[in-house]
Chain A
Amino acid sequence: MSSLPSALPFDIEVIERELARLWQSAAMPDRRHELALSRTSVLTLFVYAPDTSRAETARDLISRLSMHHPSRVVLLVATRQERLDEPQVSIQCNLGIAERYAPCYEQITITLPSDGLELLPSLLIPLALPDLPAFLWWLGPLPCHDRRFVAVARTVDRLIFDSLESHHPIADIIATRRLVQQVTRSTAVSDLNWGRLGPWLETTARMFEIPHCRWALEAITRVDLRYGYLPQHSTPNPTQALLYLGWMASRLGWRLASLELLDNGLHLDLTASGNRRLRWTIAPEPSEELFHGQLLRIRFAAEHNAETASFSIDLSGRGRATLRLRVHDRNHCVLEHAFHHHLLDLQRLLLNELQEVAPDWLYEHALDEATGLAVEYRKLERLKEHERDDLPPRNPPR
């Protein structure tokens, strides 16, 4: 049994008192700018940073978010130091947004021990503004295997994390699904990595709405999906790719028939309605760090009687800032469509999540399917590990 973390060296009520004092002193209109400070709250945002460098990243983002977003932000910074800092309380007001008002937000910064997971509910509950949704944005890998984390997640209306941060992507997909089920009555769970898939899902859906292409949805034979992989990273992160496949499978009723691990990626055979078979290839491809774990390209091939067509969706353009759809018939490109995707804009991704309170059933269904794939993947991995243990390797291990 682990020892209890040390208690925090302050009283939570002091924070509220200090905030009240700050608002009182700020209540006079700003004479220099002839502005009234405006206190509007739409939510409480808790941000958990596992270290000071991530806390700095979060601070920067919070400050930009606050330009359009008056609320209470509580930054929880984990530290390994024994001596914890006093909490900091401030009111930040933004000039220049509105003509007569300066919208403000409250920021509270609390340091806590890095092993202080069970302390968190006792901070989150009293610091959440009443009657407004509370969000917890968890930076760094989600401790989804830690049983104590369930109690943390249950204290907020929405938990936001990023599976791109995961060190063990396949195991974490399974654990995340378990967490989603455990907190389903109280908390919606959002994965920013799923949010990044939004434009891909949208483009895929609209591809099959082009009148020339509707037939192809029932006639897909092959899908080739590539995602980014920074070779210096320890492992590829196929979470986004598996969630994408999970989404299609859940929407179209595809079932996994077989899965094969390749040296570089995997083959999946799926059955669709009418016992039709289709093959997916999912493979990592070297990329810049920004695109590690992110989809780079999907190619669909469809065939029905004498008809054939192929479709591709690619990140393209300068800085891969555009998502481009191309539709080909047997001979040539018949249609192109492109739009700006905002995939790399963390602020925008986060804003999207902060607008949602209800659970995202589409994500949950995709996660269910991805979990099924992850379980099969793990079985094969273990099998391979056993084979390696039983037989002397023919080649030196990679």
Chain B
Amino acid sequence: MTTATLQNPLREGLRFERLPDPCIMVIFGASGDLTRRKLIPALYNLAYDGLLPPGFSIVGYARRSLTDDEFRQEMRAAVERFSRRQPIDPDVWDTFAQGLFYFTADFTDGSAYPKLGEVLERIDRERATAGNRIFYLATPPDAYETITQFLGESNLAQPSRSGSWVRLIVEKPFGHDLESAITLNNHLLRYFREEQLYRIDHYLGKETVQNILALRFANGIFEPIWNRNYIDHVQITVAETIGIEGRGGYYDRAGALRDMVQNHLLQLLSVIAMEPPIAFEADPVRDEKVKALRALRPIRPEDVHELTVRGQYGPGFIGGRPVSGYREEPRVAPNSLTETYVALKLFIDNWRWADVPFYLRTGKRLPRRVTEIAIQFKRVPHPLFKGMATAGVDPNWLVIRIQPDEGVSLNIAAKLPGPRIRLRTVTMGFLYGTSFLVQSPDAYERLLLDCMLGDSTLFTRRDETEAAWVPITQILRGWAESPPPEFPNYDAGTWGPPEAEQFIARDGRRWRRP
């Protein structure tokens, strides 16, 4: 057949203008949990909604020996269990499954990669995928370097024909400290260019995180007061009720600081703190996020004790049910000193945020699952209403809720009706999910589609990951020099160790009850 690159005038003006090029996604670690629970269901959902291009194909790469048909059956079971689209549409599944292939090989077997290349060439011919590839590293991080090296050495890391593209999606963790992150990035960049790399942090795929940018930069009323002159402090909370869910082997080496703060919490901090980008495009947005991260005040080892609290849960109750302590979890050392809770106070040393504390906390086995960013504004400069009139009135809070009940609320003081002046705090809120008329897509769906479209706005760039590792590495060093903590120090089902309350109370503030 003849192929030529022609503009398609039929595309213009359609409501679904974002249609990716046909491509093949190779998933390394295709027999793993991430593939089964998240990736294949997300891709099926995209197919169901007609958001995948014709010919889109998936090659599952894993050690376990499977035929294409066996892989299709396993993936169908995964979609039946984990997709938000139920029941499965047999017609959609049939055509989706036609594009599912399996490749049995060990990641460490260099001779397998040229064969993988031949398979991809064959699929290109049969399904018109035009040499476009996404390699998805859904493997343990220690396999990243081996896989990318073999991809590079087998000439799979660069497009094989003009006009086609190759992208690599890397799952967190991106290293375990600054040095290892730099090493990993250097290694990846030996074979791929930065614009080919898509470091995925699924938090950025959440609608509300993107809505923060809309709230800040599409409303004229917030930006003028979004600074040290009006904001007293910021609290970012990511609380989970779950424990480590069978990830003891990984988690006991990582801990809450690496697992949550280095990526999710610092991402939230950077979108709250960043300066307005010149455009809502990948590099301008990421440039500003990086600037905010780089402006984080360095943490000296001797200050770590003052600026952080760590905790580890013991046995307790969640939702009325007894749960075991962290040290009793499978694959966790019985004398583990890994933190499952961390609270931090960070400062951003720039004109906008000088001396405004950012309090961050995250923990497992806390009483509620909630993620929110709460911004407390300063009290009015002159207390016009005195005494009892203002009892129970807080300074204004702007709360951006990410989960559950995604939305934004603003607490303001209002006068109670009646002849006396009595003020009360009232909440004005809008629920994101119930104000607009569609169900939010799953974060993975959004991010996979963005990668296919070549939009890296919601992925983290090299300098971003490294900038985020700087304070984390400083804290880790400080902790390593401190005496070992007395763990466990909070009961499952509570808001963390009592030290966390004292930590913020020292500054004359308190944690919000989210």
Which residues of A does B touch, CB under 8 Å? Answer: 36, 38, 40, 42, 65, 67-70, 94, 97-101, 103, 198-199, 201-215, 217-218, 248, 251-252, 304, 307, 309, 316-318, 321-325, 327, 329, 334-341, 351-352, 354-355, 361-362
Contact = CB atoms under 8 A, between A and B. Distances in A.
Contacts of A339: 47-50, 52, 92
A335 B437 contact: no
B453 to A, nearest CB: 13
B15 interface: yes
17 contacts: A38-B429, A65-B437, A202-B19, A202-B50, A203-B50, A206-B53, A211-B22, A214-B3, A214-B5, A215-B1, A252-B10, A309-B1, A322-B91, A327-B54, A337-B55, A339-B47, A341-B50
Given A307-B1, A339-B52, 15 more contacts: A40-B431, A65-B437, A68-B434, A68-B436, A98-B404, A206-B19, A206-B53, A211-B130, A318-B90, A323-B50, A324-B91, A337-B55, A338-B94, A339-B47, A340-B48
A335 B14 contact: no
B10 A204 contact: yes
Given A42-B435, A325-B54, A217 B8 contact: yes
B14 A340 contact: no
Given A68-B438, A304-B2, A322-B92, A335 B127 contact: yes
B437 A351 contact: yes
Contacts of B94: 338
B390 interface: no
A208 B10 contact: yes
Contact of A198 (B8, B15, B54, B92): B15
A252 to B, nearest CB: 6
A70 B11 contact: no
Given A205-B11, A210-B128, A361-B13, A98 B4 contact: no
B426 to A, nearest CB: 10
A354 B437 contact: yes
Nearest to A209: B8
B245 interface: no
A42 B436 contact: yes
A251 B50 contact: no
Contacts of B12: 251, 362
A361 B14 CA distance: 10
B90 to A, nearest CB: 7
A327 B49 CA distance: 20
A101 B429 contact: yes
B11 A209 contact: yes
Specify which of B12, B49, B92 lies most central, judged by the most chain A CB atoms within 10 Å of its CB. B92
A100 B89 CA distance: 34
**Most A C-beta atoms less than 10 A away, residue of B52, B128, B404:** B128
B473 to A, nearest CB: 37
A341 B91 CA distance: 11
A251 B8 CA distance: 9
B128 A335 contact: yes
A70 B92 CA distance: 33
Contacts of A252: 9-10
Contacts of A322: 89, 91-92
A367 to B, nearest CB: 13
Interface string B427-443: 10111011111110000
Interface of B: 1-6, 8-16, 19, 21-22, 47-50, 52-55, 85, 89-92, 94-96, 98, 126-128, 130, 404-405, 427, 429-431, 433-439
Contact of A40 (B8, B48, B96, B435): B435
Given A202-B16, A205-B14, A329 B55 contact: no
Contacts of A103: 431, 434-435
A199 B434 contact: no
Contacts of A67: 434
Contacts of A69: 434-435, 437
A40 B430 contact: yes
A201 B435 contact: no
Contact of A214 (B6, B91, B437, B439): B6
Contacts of B16: 198, 202
Which of A100, A199, A203 has most B Cβ within 10 Å? A100
Contact of A70 (B13, B127, B435, B439): B435
Most buried by B among A38, A201, A252, A309: A38
A355 B92 contact: no
**Main SS at interface, chain B:** loop
A209 B12 CA distance: 12
Given A209-B19, A340-B50, A218 B431 contact: no
A215 B429 contact: no
5 interchain residue pairs of minimum CB distance: A317-B91, A339-B50, A337-B54, A322-B91, A362-B13
B431 A211 contact: no
Contacts of A354: 437
A5 to B, nearest CB: 34
A119 to B, nearest CB: 29
B169 to A, nearest CB: 23
A214 B8 contact: yes
Contact of B434 (A40, A217, A218, A324): A40
Contacts of A352: 15
Kindly name the residue among B11, B49, B96, B437 whose own CB sees the greatest number of chain A CB atoms within 10 A. Answer: B437
Nearest to A309: B1
Given A40-B434, A214-B8, A206 B54 contact: yes
A217 B3 CA distance: 12
B53 A318 contact: no
> Considering residues A67, A68, A103, A339, which has the most beta carbons from chain B within 10 angstroms of its beta carbon?
A339
A344 to B, nearest CB: 14
B10 A248 contact: yes
A205 B431 CA distance: 36
Contacts of B22: 209-211
B405 A212 contact: no
A335 B54 CA distance: 8
Nearest to B46: A339
A338 to B, nearest CB: 4
Contacts of B8: 205, 208-209, 214, 217
Given A214-B8, A317-B90, A340-B89, A324 B128 contact: no
